C-alpha cells in the first residue's frame, strides 16, 4: 500500500530503485496524501516536475537523528511547520497549551505514550527548530523555509505565546531562502536553480537574507520599499502597524518593487510575488496521483476525517479582513479551477472505498467567490473589492456556480453535496438563485456565516461591512425559507476582544443577536496571529485607518469578561440527550 505514497522511509526509497533523494520535505503534520495538505501538494508538484521527493513527517526534535534518515538530499531540505502555524497549533488564543492536535495521529500532540507527554510532536516555532536540526545533520545542505508559518513570519512579527515581537524566521533559522505565499512556482524554480548550479537570487515569491555587501553586489541601484527596521519597531510599536499597512498595500496592489527590512545586521529582502496559478495549472495540480489517505504509518488523523471528501475549488480572497491572513498568504486575487476539473475530482472521491455518498464541502477560503472576477482592464492598485461596499468592477456570475452544483449532483454515487466553507453575505445577496439553492440543497444543517460583530466601529476596524448587512441577509434567507417551506438555521461566527472592542460593545452585540433571533454557537477571543493588521493594531494600540489610539483588551481578565457576555447567551445544552435547543421561534415570526 505504501507505494501509493511519497516515500517516508529508507526502505520505501530503495523499493523505488533510488539510491538518494533530491528533496526532503519536513512537516510538523502527519503525512496525509490529500490535496488539502500543503506538504502533499508541494511534494506531488515536485514529483511531477521530475524530482525525487521524500517526506519527513513529525520528526523527533530532540536531536538531528531523524534528519539523517534518508541521507543528505541532493538539492535541499524543504521545511514547513505544517498546515498551521506551530504556535496556533500548540496554544489557544489565551496561550493555554492545547491537548489536541488534529494534524497528529489520534489527535495527540505528544510522541508515544503518557510517559512522553512533555515531548510534543510539533515544536514551538517549528521551522526554526527543524532548520537547525537539518543543519546539524548536514552542515552544507541548502535549507528552504515554506508553508504558512514561514510565509506569515517573514518580516518582524508578533508572537502571542511569548507576548513579544520577533524578527524574521529567515533570520532566526539562518536558512538559505524562504518561500512565501502559495509556493508551487517558487519551489520548482529553486530546485531547478540548485540542480543547475545557479544562484538563488531574484526568484519571485521568495525572501533572502543579505548583508550590506551582498545587497550592493547583487542589487546595485535597485529601488526598494523599505520597512521600519527591527530596532525602530522595538522602540516604537506604532511603526509595526505602519510596516504592516505598507505590506498590505504593496501585496494588494501587486507591486513588483522588492521589499526590504533591516534586522540583526542583515537585510531580509522580499522579491516580487509569483503570479498565481492559472485555472489550467490548478486543474493540472489536482490531477496528480494523490492517495486521498493518511500514510499507513500515520494512523487516524482527525483533520483528514474532516476534509477527506471535500474539494477545493478556489484560492485567494477579495475580503481583506483585518484579522485574517488569507490575503497575505494566498493573495487578493481569486483564482479557480474549471468545473471540469472539480467534477473529475468528485468522481475520483466517489470511488474511494470509504465514500458514503456525501461530498462534505465544495469550497476554499470563501466558497461563493467561485465564478467571480474583476472586470477592470487596467491594473488595479487597490484590490479591496468588498469594503466598504462591493466594488462595481467585481463581476459576479452565479450561473457558473449553479451549473457546477447541478452537474455535480448528477453523479449516481453522490447523495449529498454540501458547502461547508464560509460564505460572504454581501455576495450572496447579489446572487439570489444561488442563495436559494444553497439553502435548499447544499447546507449541512446550518448555514455558516461570519458577521464577526454588530458594532459599526468594531466592524470598520475589522474591515467588514456595515452592521445592517447581517439583518438584510437574515431577512432575505428567512423569506426564502418561507417560500420553500424549510427551516433556515445559521451558524454565525463572532469575535470577542478584537482591538477597538470593549465589554460594552459585546453587551450591545449580545442584545442585537437576541433581537435578530440568532443563536451563538461559535465565537472566539481574538488571537493576535502573525501577518494580520488586527495583530498590528493589538500591538500598537492604534486605529488602522487614523493611527489614533484605540482600546485594546490585552489582559486575561477583560478578555474573559468579553467572552462571558456571549457565553451567557449560548443555548443551554441538554447534556443527557445530547440535543441542542433550537432557536427562539417567537423571534423568528417577525421575519
What digits encode the pLDDT tens for the residues 380-390?
888 889 999 99
Q: pLDDT band for position 112 (50/70/90)? A: confident
Phi-psi region of 32 (alpha: psi -120 to 50; beta: other; left: phi over 0): beta
pLDDT at 591 over 80: no
Q: What is the dihedral of CA 31, 36, 42, 46, to 10 degrees?
A: 90
- pLDDT of amino acid 117: 60
Q: pLDDT band for position 582 (50/70/90)? A: very low
- pLDDT of amino acid 378: 75
The C-alpha atoms of residue 161 and residue 64 are separated, in whole angstroms, by 25
pLDDT at 119 over 90: no
The C-alpha atoms of residue 294 and residue 443 are separated, in whole angstroms, by 27
Q: What is the mean pLDDT of residues 337-359?
A: 97
The C-alpha atoms of residue 577 and residue 589 are separated, in whole angstroms, by 27
Those residues whose C-beta lies under 8 Å from the C-beta of residue 230, and which sit 6 or more positions away, are 156, 167, 261, 262, 263, 264
- pLDDT of amino acid 219: 76
Characterize the bridge pairing of strands 259-263 and 225-226: parallel
Q: pLDDT band for position 56 (50/70/90)? A: very high
Grid coordinates in use for 209?
Answer: 537574507
pLDDT at 366 over 60: yes
pTM metric for this prediction: 0.93
- pLDDT of amino acid 521: 78
pLDDT in tens, 431-454: 999 999 999 999 998 999 999 999
Grid coordinates in use for 135?
Answer: 543543519
Verify cis geometry, omega within 30 degrees of 0, for the bond prior to 388: yes
What three-state secondary structure class fits 289?
coil
Grid coordinates in use for 245?
Answer: 499597512
Residue 25 exposed, middle or buried by CB count within 10 Å (0-12, 13-18, 19+): buried
Q: Which residue has the higher pLDDT, 219 or 15?
A: 15
Q: What is the mean pLDDT of residues 59-63?
A: 95
Looking at 87-128, which runs of residues are DSSP E strands? none
Q: What is the mean pLDDT of residues 306-333?
A: 93
pLDDT at 377 over 90: no
Grid coordinates in use for 47?
Answer: 514529483
pLDDT in tens, 511-523: 999 999 998 878 8
Q: Which residue has the cell 552542515?
A: 139
- CA distances to 152, 234, 258 from 166, in Å: 12, 9, 22
Of all residues in the chain, what percent carry a pLDDT higher than 90?
Answer: 86
Q: pLDDT band for position 113 (50/70/90)? A: low
pLDDT in tens, 236-273: 999 999 999 999 999 999 999 999 999 988 999 999 99
pLDDT at 588 over 80: no
pLDDT at 180 over 90: yes
Q: pLDDT band for position 580 (50/70/90)? A: very low
pLDDT at 170 over 80: yes
Q: pLDDT band for position 2 (50/70/90)? A: low
Q: In DSSP terms, which residues pair with 97 in a beta bridge?
A: 91
- Which 8-state DSSP code applies to residue 389? S
Nearest CA to 54 out of 111, 14, 86, 94 is that of 14
Q: What is the mean pLDDT of residues 218-238?
A: 92
Residue 231 exposed, middle or buried by CB count within 10 Å (0-12, 13-18, 19+): exposed
Q: What angle do CA 531, 46, 11 make, to 5 degrees?
A: 115
The C-alpha atoms of residue 526 and residue 289 are separated, in whole angstroms, by 39
Grid coordinates in use for 19?
Answer: 539510491
Q: pLDDT band for position 575 (50/70/90)? A: very low
Average pLDDT of the chain?
Answer: 92
pLDDT in tens, 454-498: 999 999 999 999 999 999 999 999 999 999 999 999 999 999 999
DSSP H/E element including 560: helix 556-567
Grid coordinates in use for 467?
Answer: 452592521
Q: Which residue has the higher pLDDT, 57 or 114?
A: 57
pLDDT at 99 over 50: yes
Q: What angle do CA 27, 31, 35 make, to 5 degrees?
A: 100
The C-alpha atoms of residue 96 and residue 116 are separated, in whole angstroms, by 19
- pLDDT of amino acid 146: 98
pLDDT in tens, 12-49: 999 999 999 999 999 999 999 999 999 999 999 999 99
pLDDT at 55 over 50: yes
Task: Give first-to-last CA distance, the chain, whole Å.
Answer: 55
- pLDDT of amino acid 589: 31
Of all residues in the chain, what percent carry a pLDDT higher than 70?
Answer: 95
Amino acid at each position: 500500500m505504501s507505494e501509493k505514497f511519497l516515500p517516508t522511509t529508507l526502505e520505501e526509497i530503495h523499493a523505488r530503485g533510488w539510491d538518494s533523494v533530491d528533496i526532503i520535505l519536513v512537516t510538523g503534520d502527519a503525512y496525509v496524501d490529500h490535496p488539502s495538505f500543503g506538504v502533499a501538494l508541494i511534494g506531488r508538484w515536485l514529483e511531477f516536475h521530475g524530482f525525487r521527493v521524500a517526506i519527513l513527517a513529525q520528526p523527533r526534535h530532540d536531536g538531528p537523528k531523524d534528519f539523517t534518515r534518508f541521507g543528505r538530499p541532493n538539492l535541499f531540505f524543504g521545511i514547513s511547520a505544517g498546515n498551521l502555524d506551530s504556535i496556533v497549533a500548540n496554544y489557544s488564543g489565551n496561550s493555554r497549551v492545547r491537548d489536541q492536535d488534529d494534524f497528529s495521529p489520534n489527535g495527540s500532540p505528544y510522541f508515544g505514550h503518557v510517559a512522553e507527554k512533555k515531548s510534543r510532536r510539533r515544536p514551538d516555532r517549528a521551522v526554526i527548530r527543524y532548520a537547525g536540526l537539518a543543519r546539524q545533520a548536514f552542515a552544507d545542505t541548502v535549507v528552504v523555509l515554506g508553508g504558512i508559518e514561514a510565509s506569515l513570519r517573514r518580516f518582524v512579527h508578533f508572537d502571542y505565546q511569548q507576548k513579544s515581537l520577533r524578527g524574521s524566521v529567515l533570520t532566526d533559522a539562518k536558512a538559505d531562502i524562504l518561500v512565501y505565499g502559495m509556493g508551487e512556482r517558487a519551489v520548482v524554480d529553486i530546485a531547478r536553480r540548485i540542480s543547475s548550479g545557479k544562484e538563488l537570487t531574484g526568484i519571485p515569491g521568495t525572501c533572502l537574507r543579505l548583508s550590506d555587501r551582498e545587497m550592493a553586489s547583487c542589487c546595485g541601484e535597485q529601488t526598494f520599499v523599505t520597512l521600519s527596521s527591527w530596532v525602530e519597531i522595538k522602540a516604537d510599536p506604532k511603526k509595526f502597524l505602519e510596516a504592516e499597512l505598507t505590506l498590505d498595500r504593496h501585496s494588494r496592489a501587486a507591486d513588483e518593487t522588492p521589499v526590504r527590512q533591516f534586522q540583526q545586521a542583515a537585510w531580509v529582502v522580499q522579491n516580487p510575488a509569483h503570479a498565481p496559478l492559472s485555472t489550467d495549472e490548478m486543474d493540472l495540480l489536482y490531477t496528480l496521483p494523490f492517495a486521498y489517505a493518511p500514510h499507513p504509518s500515520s494512523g487516524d488523523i482527525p483533520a483528514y476525517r474532516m476534509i477527506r471528501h471535500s474539494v477545493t475549488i478556489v484560492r485567494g480572497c477579495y475580503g481583506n479582513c483585518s484579522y485574517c491572513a488569507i490575503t497575505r498568504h494566498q493573495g487578493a486575487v481569486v483564482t479557480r479551477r474549471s468545473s471540469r476539473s472539480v467534477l473529475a475530482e468528485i468522481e475520483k472521491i466517489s470511488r474511494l472505498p470509504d465514500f458514503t455518498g456525501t461530498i462534505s464541502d465544495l469550497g476554499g477560503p470563501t466558497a461563493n467567490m467561485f465564478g467571480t472576477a474583476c472586470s477592470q482592464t487596467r491594473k488595479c492598485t487597490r484590490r479591496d473589492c468588498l469594503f466598504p461596499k462591493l466594488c462595481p468592477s467585481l463581476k459576479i456570475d452565479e450561473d457558473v456556480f449553479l451549473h457546477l452544483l447541478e452537474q455535480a449532483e448528477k453523479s449516481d454515487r453522490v447523495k449529498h453535496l454540501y458547502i461547508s466553507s464560509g460564505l460572504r453575505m454581501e455576495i450572496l445577496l447579489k446572487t439570489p438563485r444561488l442563495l436559494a439553492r444553497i439553502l435548499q440543497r447544499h447546507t449541512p444543517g446550518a448555514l455558516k456565516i461570519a458577521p464577526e460583530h454588530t458594532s459599526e466601529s468594531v466592524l470598520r476596524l475589522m474591515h467588514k461591512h456595515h452592521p445592517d448587512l447581517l439583518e438584510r441577509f437574515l431577512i432575505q434567507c428567512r423569506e426564502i425559507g418561507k417560500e420553500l417551506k424549510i427551516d433556515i438555521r445559521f451558524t454565525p461566527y463572532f469575535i470577542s476582544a478584537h482591538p477597538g472592542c470593549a465589554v460594552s460593545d459585546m453587551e450591545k452585540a449580545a442584545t442585537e443577536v437576541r433581537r435578530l433571533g440568532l443563536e451563538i454557537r461559535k465565537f472566539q477571543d481574538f488571537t493576535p496571529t502573525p501577518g494580520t493588521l488586527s495583530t498590528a493594531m493589538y500591538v500598537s494600540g492604534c486605529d488602522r485607518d487614523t493611527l489614533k489610539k484605540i482600546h485594546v483588551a490585552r489582559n486575561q481578565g477583560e478578555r474573559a469578561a468579553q467572552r462571558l457576555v456571549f457565553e451567557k447567551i449560548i443555548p443551554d445544552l441538554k447534556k443527557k440527550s445530547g440535543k441542542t435547543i433550537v432557536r427562539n421561534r417567537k423571534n423568528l415570526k417577525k421575519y
